[in-house]
Amino acid sequence: MVDMSATLIHHGHIRLLKKAAEIGDVVVVLTTDEEIKKKKGYTPELSFEERKEILESIRYVKEVVAGPWLIDEAFMDSVHCDLLVHGADNVNHVRPERLVIFPRTEGVSSSTLRERVLDSLIEMNLDNKTDTGDKVARFMIELIKKEFRLE
């Protein structure tokens, strides 16, 4: 089992799924939109169904099921999974013998991707020198970056 939100799927996710597939069949427990909204405070860019469709198309993934923000052993048992595979940022309540931790992929996360998109928007905005539109767009982008703690 690999649990993830995968709000913006990236190569770090793929690397984790590939490592998990080397251990056995991979069931992805995908956090629901409601749980993401409750825990992270925003609606994900891709809906649950969109994220599920993408994950199901990845060759390392056998199945995708909806799940809670935190995984416990009762949930693992309910979907018939022996091990939880996670990155080094794991906070799930699972005994060490049922947990496999891999290092996170350096320099990438959904948050860093959001920041890169916003930086690109700023760059495009500054390159297209239009008077007041620049100021408003830049203000909005900076406000978004602060709101999502992307600074």
Catalytic residue among 37, 38, 62, 146: 37
Catalytic residue among 18, 19, 38, 39: 39
Is residue 68 domain-shared with residue 45, that is, in the same domain? yes
Is residue 6 domain-shared with residue 49, that is, in the same domain? yes
Is residue 115 domain-shared with residue 96, that is, in the same domain? no
Is residue 74 domain-shared with residue 29, that is, in the same domain? yes
pLDDT per residue as tens digits for the range 90-148: 999 999 999 999 988 777 777 777 787 777 777 776 666 555 556 666 777 777 777 76
Is residue 30 domain-shared with residue 50, that is, in the same domain? yes
Is residue 18 domain-shared with residue 82, that is, in the same domain? yes
Question: Could you tell me if residue 149 is left (phi over 0), alpha (psi between -120 and 50 degrees) or otherwise beta?
Answer: left
Q: Average of pLDDT values for 53-66?
A: 97
Is residue 120 domain-shared with residue 59, that is, in the same domain? no
Is residue 14 domain-shared with residue 51, that is, in the same domain? yes
Q: Average of pLDDT values for 12-21?
A: 95
Is residue 25 domain-shared with residue 75, that is, in the same domain? yes
Number of structural domains (the chain) is 2
Give the pLDDT of residue 10.
86
Q: Mean pLDDT of all residues in the chain?
A: 87
Containing structural domain, residue 55: 2-102
Supply the CATH number for residue 94's domain.
3.40.50.620
pTM: 0.77
Is residue 89 domain-shared with residue 120, that is, in the same domain? no
Is residue 15 domain-shared with residue 87, that is, in the same domain? yes
Question: Is 24's pLDDT higher than 70?
Answer: yes
SS3 46: coil
**Catalytic residue flag (residue 40):** no
**Catalytic residue flag (residue 52):** no
Is residue 42 domain-shared with residue 61, that is, in the same domain? yes
- Which parts of the chain are beta strand (E)? 2-4, 27-31, 63-67, 84-87, 99-102
